[in-house]
Amino acid sequence: MSQVFSEETHRNLLARIPHCTGREVSDWLRTVDEGPSLFRFEEKVSWLRGEHNLAYGHAKAIIHEYDLRRAARKLL
């Protein structure tokens, strides 16, 4: 079972991603968008970890943010 991060923890992880990975969150979101069409959350996290050697928490935060932004676009 995956961990559930609080909103504060999610924001803290996102803030650290550029320092830890050398890439901006927007770059990672574009990478996910251009990546394989995976359906499940954990599949996306595993793909990011395996393909880009990301830590679990960073990969999870990126996918969570991607899903949040995608859902927000659908509401507009």
* Helices 41-52 and 56-75: angle between axes, nearest 10 degrees: 130
Range with lowest mean pLDDT among 4-8, 32-36, 37-41, 45-49: 4-8
> What's the predicted TM-score (pTM) here?
0.89
The predicted-structure confidence for 48-64, as pLDDT tens digits, reads as follows 999 999 999 999 999 99
Token match 């650290």: residue? 16
Question: What integer is the mean pLDDT of 2-21?
Answer: 88
- Where do runs of H (alpha helix) occur along 22-55? 25-34, 41-52
Tell me the average pLDDT of the chain.
Answer: 92
Q: Read off the tokens for 31.
A: 């990478």
